[in-house]
Structure 1
Amino acid sequence: MTLLGHRKAPAPGPPPGAPPDRARRGFGGRIRDLGLGIRFAAAGGREGWVRTLLTGLGVGLGVALLFFAASVPQVIDARSERVSARTTPNAMSEAWVRPSDTTLVWIDAGTEYRGDTVGGQLLRPDGARPPLPPGVAKLPGPGAMVVSPALRDLLGSPDGALLKERLGHRVVGTIADEGLLGPEELFYYAGSDTLTPAMGGNRTAGYGSDDAREPLHPLLVVLVVMICVVLLVPVAIFIATAVRFGGDRRDRRLAALRLVGTDIAMTRRIAAGEALFGAVLGLVVGLGVFLAARPLAGGVQLWNLSAFPADLVPVPALATLIVLSVPVAAVAVTLVALRSVAIEPLGVVRNIRPRRRRLWWRLLMPLAGIAVLAMIGTVREGNVADPYPIAAGAILVLVGLTTLLPWLVEAVVSLLRGGPVPWQLAARRLQLSSGSATRAVSGITVAVAGAIALQMMFAGMHEDFLRPTGQDPTRANITVSASAGDGKLAQRMIDDFRGTKGVTAVIGTVESYVTRPGAVGPYEIQPTTTLTIGTCATLRELAALPSCRDGDAFVSHIRGQKEGNDWVDETARPGKPVDLNTRSVDDGSKPVRWTLPASARTVEARTDPVGREIDGIFATPGALDPRRMPLASTTATLRVDDRVPDAEEYVRNTAARLDPTMRVRTVKDVERDKQYASVQTGLLIGGTATVALIAASMLVSQIEQLRERKRLLSVLVAFGTRRSTLVWSVLWQTAVPVVLGTALAVAGGLTLGAVLLHMIAKQVTDPWIFLPFAGTGVAVILLVTAASMPPLWRMMRPEGLRSE
């Protein structure tokens, strides 16, 4: 007792498991708790590393797609700058450009080849220092051309033989990246020594235009906002799901920490530290995937669009938001998940029957989203569509579906009873813990619901962006027009197309403007009309002729247009002359007179195969030789045999031999708005990337869940359970949430789509539009489940009972 009395007695410490003094912990203690969690994630043995790597991979895939999404504005801006850089000023300003040593004459010489657009220009310099197009170091001479790398490769391959024959120039150089819209663009510049403004060329002193872009249609604003929401919300859900990989094993480790004295708050901070490390690792992995995939972007072409790797740079503000929000979201998701788990020193209270999920608060979020969209009002052309409430309402509805899915799965699986052994194993597993299975399909549920709503919008506004052309594809397939030329070219054009392979019929017309002879002053308006020359068979396609033979002429009127018909009659006077050499100003050229036969009859015009009604003078070649018309232009309407391979390409080659600037068009009964088509293309590209991310993330999630049950599977196999029984049980565990998630997605998508259609004042056109998307969602999940079978088979071994 005396010896002990010489020593100071230690202060009594807290009992095991008691919470440490909050005052002593302070801010530094909380930081140390986070650091301890990071140490567990970084140095927690093989099991800890596997869980951390799976989390980093799952988060990284989502982050990589977010980085690509954040690069889209930069890609669009770079593409717009390239378009402006190689655009010449408009025709009005070019008309005032005088030829000089620093000007050139150009004309568009683009074409199509097997469905792909091939852009191009013919160039003729006026002097020794002409302006250079972007990406071109030196203008090609006559008979030569500089081409894009993709066009060079195509021309050098057997598939490009017809195109090589059409272009006809030798390749002398390559266009640099700054002169192209994308690495896969087909484009060329060819030299010419005959091109003049009189042949349709345009003179310019330089490249570059600052013309403002056309503002986006209000309905397309709604559509673009919905596309962004539908593509990015599943990514955010998958990131939140990846943070919770290995949750059961983590909770057991936290229970051990509770046994050595940590309190609940400290335990949660340690878990937050683990999640923070996984999220940061995911950011690194995502950045690595982004940087690794970025150089490959130039070789990827989706729906005729591609991007240069140098343009794939995330917008700094969006990149900062991603870097900050992902770790914060990871910590928040972890803390929210731990609120439903009681981690005690002697174990995790997870194996007892949990309290049933409540429905009322899960309905608040989607109902709030519908209310927000309903309050926006009707969006019509001419209005300004505010994207923020539209995005907020759609996000609330889609995220609300993820909160409804766990309740739906729990409510349904609680009713499952009996059945085969695999079914009973699957049902019991879902009854005990349906959370992990639900999280695995929540992303696809949101994606399918959003896709259904988007497609309903597309179908509803489809007619608004289709313009009837009035053309009749049953009467003709292709039209070819030459903007300049003479009668000789016109006649040759008709003859050559008749001899082209695959062409079964040609309707060729030679057209020009004619005036009533008289004094022509610079500002005097003379009676003017069109003169169309064609065979009797051709003219019957243009007007209702009572009879026709070579040498006849007619005066064509359009029904219901009395004023226009009177103007035609001012020029087309039977027995009186007209001037074939029509000029807008007095340039000293001599008139070319032709007398309209006195026998010319008045006929009524009919719609031609390309949707036009032509009035004016109609004449057969016997009445007027086309070669007498100095300013004639020609339009040939062709019908080709679809059974002849590359029939359209043979037509384009014939046109190029006649005149490289001829325009060849396919006859269509409707024409789609370009903005609408570009938005639809963006949806296809983004949807493809999102589905790929969904499949990859679901596969990682499925493998992680199997690892969680590795010991259980090994025990069942050791006791004699057939492996096929376990495989079927895993399939049923996936199938039940899939079916329920798909049903919820269909209901949510149809509801959201109906609200959006009401907002844009459209009607539901197809109530069964959800079937393809529901099938796609089921197919993706079944594909992922099938891909997880090999690792499942390896896990069902007795060796799985070993433990470190």
Structure 2
Amino acid sequence: MSGYDAGGRTGRCATWVRDLAIGIRFAAGGGREGWVRTALTAVGVGLGVALLLGAASVPHVLDRWKTRTEATTPVRASSTAKPTARTLLLGYAETSFRGATVGGVLLHPDGPAAPRPPGVAALPRPGEMVVSPALKELLGSAEGRLLRERLPYRTVGTIGEPGLAGPGELAYYAGSASLTAGDNAFRVTGFGQGSEDAEDRPMDPKLVLLVVVACVVLLMPVAIFIATAVRFGGERRDRRLAALRLVGADVRMTRRMAAGEALFGSVCGLVVGGALFLAARPLAGRVTLWGVNAFPGDVTPVRGPALLVLATVPVLSVTVTLVALRRVTIEPLGVVRDSAGRRRRLWWRLPLPAAGAALMLLSGGQRADGAVLHTDWIAGGAVLFLVGITVLLPWLVEAVVGRFKGGPVAWQLATRRLQLSSGAAARAVSGITVAVAGAIALQVFFAAVQSDFMKVTGQDSGRAQLDVELPAGDAAATGKTIARFRATEGVRGVIAGVNGSVSARPVPGRDSEEPLPTGEVTVGDCATLRELARIGSCAEGDVFVVRDGGMVHDRYLSALAKIARPGARVLLNREPGSGEMPARPRWWTVPESARVVPSRPDPMGTTHFGIFATARALDPAALADPHAYAMIRIDARVPDAEEYVRNTAARIDPALRVRSLRDVAPDRQFADVRTGLLIASAATLALIAASMLVTTVEQLRERRRPLSVLVAFGTRRGTLGWSVLWGTAVPVGLGLALSVAGGTGLGLVLLRMVGKSGFAWSAVWPPTAAGAALVLVVTLLSLPPLWRLMRPDGLRTE
């Protein structure tokens, strides 16, 4: 019995192999018509395979990016380490140019054996720099004129690939003779320690949920299009299979032969997809989306996912073909598909999205904010939900177009075509339907949770846009520095001041646990002081006492009150933290006329209190250890005003940091996920556009003879053109309506999972409008092939 079973299985396998081989021969030897059909299938499958291989490369790209980033991180020596022949002083001089970050590092070797950063052949000397290829190209272009003024170094080399996170990175290493160990520089013993942020904090469960659903949303349209592409030329194929039935082939044999044709097309699609992937790979370094790019060598598919793609696509092509032919009765004298068949049932389609939603809710429910989610349940539920939308679309198209009657000739031609083959029309727009539904759900989720990942900085970018920390060792030099900023093109105003500390006379025998009677003093002009406190009227020579009880401990306030009060005698030149009296103390008396005023947060969100004085009342040079700052208001009407300010700062000191003020700052993980989704969405939309164009061309090719017949009988070309447009618009409109309903439902499920209740309807319309615009563009691009197919030679047959 076992031998019989084995023989039976062997016989069935041999039958399958034989019939599949016959189908492959039909696809490969079917003449020009067969090769055109195979080429369309191969292109359609190839587009999807190329994107899937790109998706399989993402882990390797991220791993290589992390490795390079860690390799360039300096290894700090201890704060007490002495300079040796193997150490190096390093200071950061990062800047920004028109929104792009330019990573700058200043280097000063302590000896001949000082370590070199990765990708740097030799350390630059003072006045020299080595730059990344992207920065070298920018500096050599007309666009980089302002940046060249900011980097007064001579370029002596380029940074190699090991020292860059990506080919588009803007970075440089410059030699410095004036670099000294301090706040802006430190001593290093090598490179490759890993980032200081290497301790990756666990990803927020909301972001986990977002990433999982986004992967499903982005890859589902690809799978749907591949399944659609393997069915190209289905009607012509069915007529050939009817001829095979006429010469004696049974139903199962014809289905296996059809599967062989689809298998050949999908294998050709794998080859085309691999070729497209290899052709697009070198472009990875030239294309930058939202500040992200990669070296071509890094875009390498991970072996497991790549093998899964190569194995799944042929199996999918055979499975889809066999399932599709179950609804087609192929007889020796014709195909029953061309007549009205059994109406599609709704009862088994509706439970699919409901089951998907239930599975997602069971994966974590409202515990998603703080519990570990079952990602496999989430992914399975999202797939089931989107599959439910996909299978609902053919029923919806059939149910709606079946009620269309009458109308203009173009409308009747379109609706009659849809009534005869609504399944083909639904398949053509199923990818865009799923993509738009998923995009709506993600946008709704983004809108609901983004406030959780936005940190309110307390800064007020309406009062100032840039912040600069100034060297304040010399009061006269500080004044000149501030004057240079005020004279910079595009600057409307500068809020600048000098901070220092003042204290009372040390009391012998004072309890060491008692707070030191030390306070803050701020020196600036009246305009600056108005930004820091509510001083009212002000003139040069005025002094103010600023108090804010909500910002400090009451115990500290009681000590501060001994200093920050009218008539107090304070010591100006005692070093902070020192209990000793300076050899030559400088005393200053707070005028009795000083007014007590409330504080006001500055544009950086910092609240100042203590003694405020104008420069005529108190010379900043008298302060010990002063700290200067400038907050700059720029004129938005002046192009590159921010760049002019940064150039001024670089001329003052290359290590001077200019920071932009932001009212809110996004969480880093949230920003990374958002950037990744934008890049992936752009790639998916490009695939959908290309796939829809291929699908439309294939459908028009199928209708070449009917179109030629209509033209031969006198039908106007404009009428046929409008019929094609209506034939596309109707299923697209129904698909987008289903997308809005499905995307809204999926969005509500996601919100329920994270305990959110607000629904942003404004997030629904942009993806819908983008989908409609995409379809419009594809339809317009399909018109030239339509005009060519209307020629009389379309009546020819072989």
CA contact (8 A) 2:562 2:568 kept: no
CA contact (8 A) 1:466 1:670 kept: yes
C-alpha deviation, 1:652, in angstroms: 0.9
The equivalent of 2:123 in structure 1 is 139
Q: Find out whether 1:353 has 2:340 as its counterpart.
A: yes
C-alpha distance 621-796 of structure 1, shift in aligned 2 (>3 A): same
Query: What is the SS of the residue equivalent to 1:79?
Result: helix
Q: 2:681 aligns with which of 664, 687, 698?
A: 687
**2:181 equivalent to 1:189:** no
Paired position in structure 2 for 1:7: none
Task: Give me the whole-angstrom Cα distance separating, in 2, the residues matched to 1:455 and 1:23.
Answer: 51
Q: Which amino acid aligns with 1:559?
A: G
Structure 2 residue matching 1:358: 3-state secondary structure: coil
Q: Give the superposition deviation at 1:581.
A: 5.5
- Conservation of the 8 A alpha-carbon contact between 1:490 and 1:633: no
Match of 2:446 in 1: 458
CA offset digits 1:551-601 (Å, max 9, x no partner): 444443213353442343466575444354636689999787443535355
Q: 2:250 aligns with which of 259, 263, 267?
A: 263
The 1:593/1:100 distance shift into structure 2, 3 A limit, reads farther
SS in structure 2 of the partner of residue 510 of structure 1: strand
CA distance in 2 between partners of 1:162 and 1:223 (Å): 40
Question: Are the counterparts in 1 of residues 516 and 559 from structure 2 also a CA contact under 8 Å?
Answer: no
Q: Deviations over 1:372-396 (max 9, x none)?
A: 1222311454322332222221111
User: What amino acid maps onto 1:679 in structure 2?
Assistant: V
Q: Cα–Cα, structure 1 residues 758 and 532, in superposed 2: closer, same or farther, change >3 Å?
A: same
In the TM superposition, 1:110-259 aligns within 5 A as 110-198=94-182, 200-210=184-194, 211-259=198-246
Question: What residue number does 2:4 align with?
Answer: none
Deviation at 1:25, TM superposition (A): 4.2
Q: Is the 8 A contact 2:503 2:570 kept in 1?
A: no
Partner of 1:479: 467
Pair 1:67 & 2:61 matched: no
Within 1, Cα distance between the matches of 2:9 and 2:209? 53
CA contact (8 A) 2:132 2:169 kept: yes
1:531 matched to 2:521? The reply is yes
Matched, 1:327 2:314: yes
Task: Name the CA shift for 1:114/1:59 in 2 (closer, same or farther; >3 Å).
Answer: same
Q: Does the Cα contact within 8 Å between 2:515 and 2:556 map onto a contact in 1?
A: no
The CA distance in 2 between the partners of 1:458 and 1:266, in whole Å, is 51
> Do the aligned residues in 2 keep the contact of 1:106 with 1:202 (CA within 8 Å)?
yes
Contact 1:199 1:485 in 2 (8 A): no
Matches within 5 A, 1:557-636: 557-560=547-550, 562-569=554-561, 575-578=568-571, 580=573, 582=575, 593-597=586-590, 599=592, 602-629=596-623, 631-636=625-630
Q: Structure 1 residues 418, 765: CA separation in 2 closer, same or farther (over 3 Å shift)?
A: same
Q: CA deviation at 1:746?
A: 0.5
The residue type paired with residue 51 of structure 2 is L
Aligned residues: 782
Following the alignment from structure 2 to structure 1, what is the Cα–Cα distance between the partners of residues 571 and 203?
A: 47
2:699 to 702, 705, 709: 705
Structure 2 counterpart of 1:494, one-letter code: I
Output the CA distance in 2 between the equivalents of 1:588 and 1:175.
Answer: 53
Which amino acid letter does the alignment assign opposite residue 215 of structure 2?
A: C
Cα distance in 2, alignment partners of residues 142 and 58 from structure 1: 57
Equivalent in the alignment of 2:690: 696
Pair 546,358 (structure 1): closer, same or farther in 2 beyond 3 Å:
closer
User: Which deviates more, 504-513 or 445-454?
Assistant: 504-513
| Residues 487 and 629 in structure 1, CA contact (< 8 A), matched pair in contact too | no
1:793 aligns with 2:787: yes
Equivalent-residue separation in structure 2 for 1:569 and 1:217 (angstroms): 45
Seen in structure 2, the aligned counterparts of structure 1 residues 590 and 744 have a Cα distance that, compared at 3 Å, is farther
Counterpart-to-counterpart distance in 1, 2:644 and 2:10: 87
**Cα pair distance change 1:306/1:297, threshold 3 Å:** same
**Are 1:769 and 2:757 counterparts?**
no
Q: Any idea what the Cα deviations from partners look like across 1:55-84, whole Å, max 9, x if unmatched?
A: 110000000001111111111111111221
Q: Which residue of 2 aligns with 1:337?
A: 324
Looking at structure 2, the residues matched to 507 and 120 of structure 1 have their Cα atoms a distance apart, in angstroms, of 27
Shift of 1:454: 0.6
Give the Cα–Cα distance (whole angstroms) in 1 for the partners of residues 322 and 684 of structure 2. Answer: 28
Which residue of structure 2 aligns with residue 545 of structure 1?
535
**With structure 2 as the length reference, what TM-score do the two structures score?**
0.93
Residue among 608, 628, 635 paired with 1:641:
635
Alignment of 1:748 onto 2:736: no
* Residue pairs, 1:414-429, within 5 angstroms: 414-429=402-417
TM-score (norm 1): 0.92
**Structure 1 residues 396-407: aligned runs within 5 Å:** 396-407=384-395
Residues 297-346 of structure 1 show CA distances to partners (whole Å, capped at 9, x for unaligned) of 11101111111111101111111111111111111111100111111222
8 Å CA contact 2:75–2:189 kept in 1: the answer is no
Identity percentage of aligned residues: 57
C-alpha RMSD over aligned residues: 2.5
The letter of the residue matching 1:155 is L
Query: 1:12: which partner in 2?
Result: none
Aligned counterpart, 2:22: 36
**TM-aligned CA distance change 1:476 to 1:330, over 3 Å:** same
Match of 1:436 in 2: 424
| TM-aligned CA distance change 1:164 to 1:764, over 3 Å | same
- Hey, what's the Cα distance between the residues in 2 that align with 1:772 and 1:64? 27
Q: Which residue of 2 aligns with 1:9?
A: none
Code of the aligned partner of 1:791: P
- Give, in whole Å, the separation in 2 of the partners of 1:532 and 1:106: 32
* Residue 655 of structure 1, aligned match among 630, 649, 652: 649
Distance 1:64 1:658, change over 3 A: same
CA distance in 2, matches of 1:485, 1:172: 34
Letter in 2 for 1:533: V
Change (3 A) 1:298 1:668: same
Q: Deviations over 1:750-772 (max 9, x none)?
A: 11111111111123342243222
Cα deviation per residue 1:3-28 (whole Å; 9 max; x = unaligned)?
xxxxxxxxxxxxxxxxxx97994322
The range that moved more, 133-142 or 505-514, is 505-514
Distance 1:181 1:264, change over 3 A: same
Query: Hey, what's the Cα distance between the residues in 1 that align with 2:185 and 2:576?
Result: 18
- C-alpha distance in structure 1 between counterparts of 2:262 and 2:774, whole Å: 28
SS at match of 2:763: coil
- 2:723 maps to 729
Q: State how far apart, in whole Å, the 1-side matches of 2:675 and 2:583 are.
A: 53
Structure-1 separation of matches of 2:286 and 2:513: 56
Letter paired with 2:283: L
